[in-house]
Amino acid sequence: MSGESGQKRGDPGEKPAGSPWRIGSWLTTRSVARQVFLLQLILVVLLVAAAVVAIVVQAQRDTMTDARHRTIAAAQSFAHAPGLARALENDFPTVELQPLAEGARKAAGIDALIVYELDGITLTHSDPTQLGKHVIGPYAEAAAGQPFTRTFQGALGLSVVSAAPVRDARGQVVGIVSAAVTVEKVRDSVDQQLPVFLGSAAGALALVAFGTGLVSRRLRRQTHGLGPTEMTRMYEHHDAVLHAVREGVLITGRDRRLLLANDEARRLLDLPADAEGRRVTDLGLDTALTALLASDRIATDEVHLAADRLLALNKRVTLPVGGQQGSVVTLRDTTELRSLSGRAEVARERLTLLYDAGVRIGSTLDVVRTAEELAEVAVPGFADVVTVELLDPVLRGEEPAGASAELRRSAIAGLSEDHPLYPSGELIRFVPGSPVETSVSEGRSVVVADLASSPGWRAQDEERARRILHYGIHSLAVVPLRARGVVLGVANFWRAGVSTPFSDEDLSFAEELASRAAVSIDNARRYTREHAMAVTLQRSLMPRTLPDDEALDVASRYLPAESGVGGDWFDVIPLPGARVALVIGDVVGHGLHAAATMGRLRIAVHNFSALDLSPDELIGHLDELVALLDVQGESSEGGGEVITGATCLCAVYDSVSGEVTVATAGHLPPAVVRPDGTVEFLASPVSPPLGLGAGMPVETTRTTLPEGSRLVFYTDGLLEDRSRDVDASLDALREALAGPDRTPEETCAAVIDTMLPAGSSDDVALLVARVGRLDPDRVAEWEVARDPAAVSPVRNACARKLAEWGLEDIAFGTELILSELITNAVRYGIEPIRVRLLHSGSLICEVSDGSSTSPHIRRADDTDEGGRGLFLVAQYAEKWGTRYSPRGKTIWAAQATGPGAGPDLDQLGEDDILGQWDDVEL
C-alpha cells in the first residue's frame, strides 16, 4: 500500500501547483481570449512605461510647445463655438459670454480667456474690473482673419498668448478671442500629470487583470454605453443623413475614382447607378467639371453648368494642399437662387429707372418735351422703342372733352431715321379693336406679347404692320396716360430683337412710369393753357403796330421770359403839337397777374395822355392810380393781389424844338446816342416805383437833342446777368450802343445780340427811337395883341401861309377855326397870345394865352349871341383839345390835309352846320 501510494505521488504527469510547468501550460493551453488578455497586459505595461519615460524626457523641452498649443486650441475652440458670433451682435454680449468664457477657461486650464471687439473693447475677462476697457495689443493679424501666438514676459513670468478671429455666417471677422497661460503653470500641469499617468497605468493593469470578460464592458464604457446594436443604428443614421441632405457629396480616391456619391449628388449630376468605382473622367460630366474633379485644385463656390442646372461647387483634398490621397466635393443647386438674384437685380434697376424718371420727366412745362422725356427715360432700360400719343386738346393746353381714338404722335425714342412707325407729329386715328383704341376707350393697359398673332393690331395698317415686324419689333405694351381721372393719351412700349416679350410684371412697372409722367404732362398742359391765356391777354394789350411819325423812326423788341409772359411793356403815343410820348414800364412777376397789371397801366397811360398831360403829371396820376388799386386789392374779399415793383418812364419829344422831357417812377434811365456815336444816360432824379410815391412831386429832366440822335428805352431784364453787377451791365450797354450810326432796327438787333446772347430769365422790352426835326418852313408863328382888330391880320397871314403850303382846300375851315380860337383868346384870355401853325402829317392850329380857364362845348340858346364857336371848331377839325403849361394853356385843332379833307362847303353851309346843333339831343 505504501508503495502504491508512493508511486502515485511520484507520477511524472503531475506537477506541483506553483511549478513553471503549470504556468506555461496555462499560458499555452487556454483559449485565444486569454492570449489576447496576456497580449493586452504586456502592451499596457509597455505603453505605460514608455509614456512615463516620454513625459519625463520631453516635459522640459515641450513645455513651451504645450503652452502654445493649449492657448491656440482654447482660443480657436471658443472662437468657433456655435452662437458666439450671434452673441457678439447682441446689445449686451458680456452678459451671455462672460460665464461661458470663464467655464471654458477653467476647463482648458489656462489663465485667461478674453473676448475683444474689433476696436479693442474687452467683453469677457477673468478679472471683472477689466470688462469694457479698451486694450491695445498685437491683434491686427486676428482682426485680419489670421490666428497667431506670441510669447511675452509678464508680471507672472514667461507667458504665452494666442488669438483667433471670430467669423459670422458670411465669413466676416466680428471679434477676437485671446487665450493666455504662464509657462510655469504648464510645467506644473505636466508635473501633475505624472501621478495621473502612474495611477492610470495601475488602473489599466487592474482592469486587464479582470480578464477578457471585462473587455466588452470596457468597450461599452469607451463608446458611452453603445453596444453593437446601437453602433449599427448610429451607422444607419449616418448613412441616412448622408444620402438625405439637400447637398451633393462626392468622395474620390487618389486614383481619381469615385468612392462615394450620395443621392443628391447622383440627382444633380445625373450619375449612372454604377458610378461608384469608376473614374471621374468616365462619368460623362461637363468638361470643366470633370477637369476640376480630376485635379488637385481646391475650389470654393465655383459655379459649373450641369445639364440645365447651375451648381455651386466646393472642393477640398483629404490631405494638406498638394496631397494625393483624395478629395471631398460638395454640390449645391443655385439655379433658383440665381433666378431670384436676377429678379432682384431687375427690380433694383427698375427702382433706379423710376428715380431717374422722377428727376428727368417734367423738367420743363412743355407738353411735347415732357412726352419726349418719358420716351427717353424708358429707352433702353425698359423698352427698345417708346412712342407717346396725346390728344390734340392736351397739346393746346385744353381740357380733353372725352376719350377719343384720334391721337397725335408726340414723341419717339429708340428708332433710327428709317423706322416704319408713324412719324412724330402725325395725327393717327386708331381703328376699333386696336390695342391703343382699347386702352383709350376702356382706360386700361393692354399687353400684346406677340404682335404677329394680334389681328387687332395688324388691322390698323396691314402694310405698316408687316414692315414693323420685319424691322424686328415683336411685343407691345400700351398704357394710358391718366391724370385726375382723365385720359390724356397713351404711352406705347415696344420690344424688338432678342428682348423678352412684355409680361404682367412689366406692365405694373410701365403703369407706374406712365402715372408719374401723366402728372407732369397734365401740369404742362395746365401751364400751356395759362400761358396761352396770358399771351393772348398780353398781345391784346401790347401795341400791335407803332404809329408812323415824320419826326421819329421807331423800332422795338419784346422777348418773353423763359418761364412765361411777364409784365414789361412799352408804347408810342402821338400827341398834338408835333409831339410824341415814349413810354416804357415793368411789372414784377410773370403770368396772368403781371400781364393784366401791365394792360391796366398801359390803358391808364393812354387815358392820361389823351388829357395832354406833361410827363411828371402823367407819372403822378399813374402813381395815385396804382396806390388806389393796391388799396382795393387788399380790401377785396378773399384778399386780392397787389401791384408790387411796377416802374414806368415817360418821355415826351417835341419835334419842333427838339426838346425831350423825361419823368420816371423807379425805372432805369434812358440812353441817348448822339449822331457822333457817343452815349450818355439821362440821369433823372431818383424816384420810387409806382404806388410808393405817397404824394411826393415828380421831377423831370429836360434836354435838347440834335437831329439824328437815338433815344433807347429798356427794362431791367436787358441788364440782368449773374456774372456782373448793374454798373457793369450799363457799361456793356454803352459799348453796344456806341459806334457808327445805325437804324433803330439795327440798333435793336445789336443790343440783343450783345446783351442777351443766350436768352434771359426775365422778359425784356427794348424801344429805340431816332429823333428828327420838323422842317422850319412848316412852322409859322404870330404874336397877337389883345385887340379884336388884331384877329383879321393874323387870319389873313394864316391864309397866305396855307396857300404857300398848298392847303387852299382847307383854308376856309382853317380861317373859321382860327377866327373862333383867336377871338376867344382875345376876349377871355390873358396876354401873351400866340398863334402857331404846324404842317406835318396834318395841319395843327394852336392858339395860346396866359390864362388857365378851360373852354368846353355848350348849347347856346336862341337868344344867345355866342356859344357856338367851339361847336364849329369841332365840326371842321378832326380833333381838338386843350393842354396846359406853367404859363397858361394852348387850344389846338388838327385838320386832315389829304385830298378831299374837310367838309364839302358847296353842299354844306354854316347855317346847315348850326342847324345840326339844334338837332342835338341832350
**pLDDT reading at 136 higher than 90:** no
pLDDT the model gives residue 920: 36
Residue 471 has pLDDT above 70, yes or no: yes
Virtual torsion, Cα 421, 425, 430, 434, nearest 10 deg:
40
Tell me: pLDDT of 3 over 60: no
The share of the chain scoring above pLDDT 70, in percent, equals 79
Give me the pLDDT at residue 679, please.
92
Residue 783, C-beta contacts closer than 8 angstroms, at least 6 positions apart? 832, 833, 834
In 3D, which of 285, 304, 281, 294 has the Cα closest to residue 326? 294
Place of cell 465669413: 171
Average pLDDT over residues 416-434: 89
Residue 336: pLDDT over 80 = no
| Bridge partner residues of 896 (DSSP) | none
Least confident of 19-33, 166-180, 427-441, 687-701: 19-33
Concatenating the DSSP letter of every residue in 486-526 gives EEEEEEEEEEETTPPPP-HHHHHHHHHHHHHHHHHHHHHHH
In 210-281, which residue ranges form alpha helices assigned H by DSSP?
A: 215-222, 228-244, 263-269
- DSSP state for residue 799 in the 8-state scheme: H
Q: Which three cell numbers stand for residue 433?
A: 379693336
The span from the CA of 500 to the CA of 507, in Å, is: 13
Strand partners of residue 412: 387
Pairwise CA distance, residues 780 & 797, whole Å: 10
DSSP class of 130: G
Give 276-291 pLDDT, tens digit per residue. 888 888 888 888 888 8
**Cis before 272? omega within 30:** no
Q: What is the mean pLDDT of the chain?
A: 79
Confidence of residue 481 (pLDDT cuts 50, 70, 90): very high
Per residue in 214-233, pLDDT (tens digit) is 655 665 566 666 656 776 77
Res. 768 pLDDT band, cuts 50 70 90: very high
CB 434 within 8 Å of CB 456? yes
pLDDT given at position 61: 63
- 34-93 residue pLDDT tens: 555 667 677 777 777 777 677 666 665 667 777 788 888 887 888 888 888 888 888 778
Q: How is the beta sheet containing 764-771 ordered, strand by strand? A: 552-559, 764-771, 710-714, 671-673, 679-681
CB 560 within 8 A of CB 763: yes
Farthest CA pair distance, the chain: 220
**For the range 683-689, what are the long-range contacts, defined as Cβ-Cβ under 8 Å and sequence gap of 24 or more?**
684/649, 687/619, 689/645, 689/646, 689/647, 689/665
485-524 b/e (C-beta count within 10 Å ≥ 16 → b)? ebbbbbbbbbbbeebeebeeebbebbbebbebbbbbbbeb
User: Could you tell me if 446 and 477 are in contact, meaning their C-beta atoms sit under 8 angstroms apart?
Assistant: yes
In three-state secondary structure terms, 165 is strand
> Would you give the distance in Å from CA 127 to the centre of its chain?
57
In terms of average pLDDT, the best of 116-130, 218-232, 480-494 is 480-494
pLDDT above 80: residue 906: no
What SS3 class is residue 882?
A: strand
Question: Which grid coordinates belong to 172?
Answer: 466676416
Asked whether the CA dihedral 746, 749, 755, 757 is positive or negative, the reply is negative
Structure confidence at residue 818 as a pLDDT band (50, 70, 90): confident
Q: Give the CA-trace dihedral at 905, 802, 790, 878, to 10 degrees.
A: 50
pLDDT tens-digit map of 823-867: 888 888 888 888 998 888 788 898 888 888 777 666 555 444 445
DSSP state letter for 213:
G
Checking if the pLDDT of 747 tops 50, the result is: yes
Is pLDDT larger for residue 766 or for residue 104? 766
Residue 504 pLDDT grade (very low, low, confident, very high; cuts 50, 70, 90): confident
Average pLDDT for residues 720-746, to the nearest whole number?
Answer: 84
Distances (CA, A) of 157 to 60, 127, 160, 181, 769: 16, 18, 10, 10, 106
Query: In sequence order, what are the residues at sequence separation of 6 or more whose Cβ sits closer than 8 angstroms to the Cβ of residue 199?
Result: none
> What pLDDT score does 242 carry?
73
Query: Comparing C-alpha atoms, which of 58, 59, 123 is closest to residue 90?
Result: 123
Nine-digit cell at 221?
A: 464604457
Mean pLDDT of the 499-507 span: 85
Question: Residue 189 — very low, low, confident or very high, per pLDDT cuts 50/70/90?
Answer: low
pLDDT digits (tens, 9 = 90+) for 538-567: 666 677 777 777 778 999 988 877 666 677
Q: How far is CA 817 from CA 222, 610, 797, in A?
A: 146, 21, 14
The runs of H, that is alpha helices, within 361-397 are 367-378, 392-395
* Residue with the larger pLDDT of the pair 705 and 58: 705
Using alpha carbons, select from 254, 278, 275 the residue that is nearest to residue 265.
275
Residue 921 confidence class, pLDDT cut points 50, 70, 90: very low
pLDDT at site 187: 65
Instruction: Return the closest-CA partner of residue 614 out of 647, 658, 581.
Output: 581
Size of the chain, expressed as the number of residues it contains: 922
Residue 659 confidence (pLDDT): 93
User: How far is residue 522's CA from residue 561's CA, in Å, rounded to a whole number?
Assistant: 22
Measured CA to CA, the distance from residue 777 to residue 541 in angstroms comes to 38
Lowest mean pLDDT among 124-128, 224-228, 252-256, 447-451: 224-228
Q: What is the mean pLDDT of residues 638-659?
A: 80
Q: Are 754 and 737 in contact (CB under 8 A)?
A: no
| Alpha-carbon dihedral sign for residues 292, 294, 295, 300 | positive
C-alpha–C-alpha distance, residues 809 and 409, integer Å:
65
Encode pLDDT of 226-263 as tens digits: 656 776 777 777 777 776 777 888 888 878 888 888 88
Highest mean pLDDT of the ranges 83-92, 118-127, 137-146, 616-625: 616-625
Lookup: cell for 405: 381714338
Residue 75's H or E segment, with its range, is helix 32-79
pLDDT, tens digit, 9 for 90 and up, residues 347-404 = 677 778 777 877 888 888 889 999 999 999 888 888 999 999 999 989 888 888 777 8
* Torsion sign across C-alpha atoms 398, 399, 400, 402: negative
Residue 25: is its pLDDT beyond 60?
Answer: no
Residue range 186-209: mean pLDDT, rounded:
66
Helix (H, G, I), strand (E, B) or coil at 383: coil
Residue 137 has pLDDT above 80, yes or no: no
Who contacts 289 (Cβ-Cβ below 8 Å, separation ≥6)?
304, 305, 306, 311, 313
Q: Is the dihedral of CA 808, 812, 813, 816 positive or negative?
A: positive
pLDDT band at 33 (very low <50, low <70, confident <90, very high): very low
Residue 535 has pLDDT above 90, yes or no: no
Output the nine-digit C-alpha cell for 135.
486694450
Structure confidence by residue, pLDDT tens digits, 574-624 = 888 888 999 999 887 766 677 777 888 888 888 888 888 889 889 988 888
Q: Per-residue pLDDT for 342 more than 50?
A: yes
Nearest to 901 by CA among 818, 802, 782: 802
What is the pLDDT at residue 318?
A: 77
